[in-house]
Amino acid sequence: MKFSDLLNKVQQAVIKTQAETGAWRPVGFNFLSAAVTADKSFISEVIIWREPSDMHSYDARFTLFDEREDRYDDPVYVAQISYCSKMDDDPRYLHYVLVKELMHCFDPPDSWTDSADKLAQFLRDLQNKPLQKTNDAISVELKARWMALLALIPPALREYLVAANGKGRRSDELGQELGLLDTIVASALDSYYGEALAQIREDDERPVDEPVPDPNLDDIIST
């Protein structure tokens, strides 16, 4: 599945909900997770792992596990999204984070942090933010944020937000109505929304090599 396919399903679901209830509502995480794993062609299951913590931490991560029984079989991936339990205190933020981590299902294989060297380089680049250098893992993190926004606020829902905002309703008020972060609504109202949507759809049209993971690897991590 490509992200554009998922977005089409989200768009249809949002429009259907509005037609049936008269209210605009974003889809939930369970809807997105079920859509991603529906055909089992890449990821067979998404598992949520809540990590208990007394620390004020908002860490979350996405991990792909290769569950095939024989190295000569086709890869069978199970995705795990783990998050710090303190996020339970902010349901709107937790919803966004879970969706954003799920979007890493669409990371191209060449961006996977699947070795110790790649992980070390990723952490180094994340810390230093070197000039004129793009780390693939960092790039897909930024892209995942926009895909999450698009999945939560597809074009039909954005049209409603733009119209409501034009009538004087603020992004924080609209965020409360939809159960979304104010910052997500504000970003969706920005004109860059159209550029991001066009860019991601264009990226979807580019051919991507099928993943061929090292059979000796237990998992492939994408943060």
Provide the domain count of the chain. 1
Whether 217 is covered by a domain: the verdict is no
State how far the Cα of 112 lies from the Cα of 82, in Å rounded to an integer: 17
Written as six digits, the tokens of 25 are 């509502």
Residue 170: inside a domain:
yes
Report yes or no on 211 lying in a domain. Answer: no
Structure confidence by residue, pLDDT tens digits, 145-200: 999 999 999 999 999 999 999 999 999 999 999 999 999 999 999 999 999 999 99
Residue 56: the pLDDT is 59
* Within-domain flag for 26: yes
> Does residue 214 belong to any structural domain of this protein?
no
Any domain includes 222: no
Per-residue confidence band for 62, with pLDDT thresholds at 50, 70 and 90: confident
Domain membership of residue 133 as a residue range: 3-205
Instruction: Tell me whether residue 223 is in a domain.
Output: no
Is residue 219 included in any domain, yes or no? no
Tens digit of pLDDT for each residue in 74-131? 777 888 999 988 899 899 999 999 999 999 988 876 666 655 666 666 667 666 655 4
